[in-house]
C-alpha cells in the first residue's frame, strides 16, 4: 500500500496570509491526525478526524482548523499566519486492528512564515 502523502512538501508564506495543507491517508485508514513539530516545542497534537468528524483537538488557537472529506483525505488550514507558525506539519493516518491502533506518519509539509 502507498504510504501517507502530504502536499505541498514545502511552503513559504508571509505573515497575515493563510495556508492550506493536504494529507492523503493510507487506503482504508479512516482516522487522520495532525501534528506540529518545532525545535522548541517538539511534536504537538493539533487535531484528529474520523469519518469527517473532528474527534479530538489539541491546545492550539482557533486559527488552526481542519476538515476531512468522505474519501478520508484531510486538509488543515492556518489563517492569519504568524512567524511562530513556521514548523513541520505532520499528518498521520491510523488503523485499529486486534485492539491496537498504529499511527503512520507522512513526510510532512515544511512551512516557513516570513
CB of 16 to another protein, least distance (A): 30
Residues of this chain, 68-97, that bind another protein according to CB under 8 A: 90, 94
Q: Cβ–Cβ contacts within 10 Å for residue 109, how many?
A: 21
Radius of gyration of the chain (CA): 14
Q: Does 106 bind another protein (CB under 8 A)?
A: yes
How many beta carbons lie within 10 A of that of residue 94, not counting itself? 19
Least distance in angstroms from the C-beta of 15 to another protein: 27
Under the binding rule (CB under 8 A), the answer on residue 33 touching another protein is yes
* Binding residue for another protein, selected from 21, 48, 74, 76, defined by CB under 8 A: 48
Q: Does 103 bind another protein (CB under 8 A)?
A: yes
Any residues with CB less than 8 A from the CB of 24 and at least 6 apart, and which? 4, 5, 6, 73
Of the candidate spans 15-23, 47-55, 60-68, 75-83, the one that interacts with another protein by CB under 8 A turns out to be 47-55
Q: How far is the CB of 114 from another protein (least distance, A)?
A: 25
Please give the full DSSP string across 38-100, using - where no structure is assigned.
ETTTEEEEEEEEETTEEEEE-S--TTEEEEE-TTS-EEEEE-S--GGG-EEEEEEEEEEETTE
Task: Summarize as ranges the residues that interact with another protein (CB under 8 A).
Answer: 3-4, 31, 33, 35, 42-45, 48, 50, 55-56, 58, 90, 94, 100-108
Amino acid at each position: 500500500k502507498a504510504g501517507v502523502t502530504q502536499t505541498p512538501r514545502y511552503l513559504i508564506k508571509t505573515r497575515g496570509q493563510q495556508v492550506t495543507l493536504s494529507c492523503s491517508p493510507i487506503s482504508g485508514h479512516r482516522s487522520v491526525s495532525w501534528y506540529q513539530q518545532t525545535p522548541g516545542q517538539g511534536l504537538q497534537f493539533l487535531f484528529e478526524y474520523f469519518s469527517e468528524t473532528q474527534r479530538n483537538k489539541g491546545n492550539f488557537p482557533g486559527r488552526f482548523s481542519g476538515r476531512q472529506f468522505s474519501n478520508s483525505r484531510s486538509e488543515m488550514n492556518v489563517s492569519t499566519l504568524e512567524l511562530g507558525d513556521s514548523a513541520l506539519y505532520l499528518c498521520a493516518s491510523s488503523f485499529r486492528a486486534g485492539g491496537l491502533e498504529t499511527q503512520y506518519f507522512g513526510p510532512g509539509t515544511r512551512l516557513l512564515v516570513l
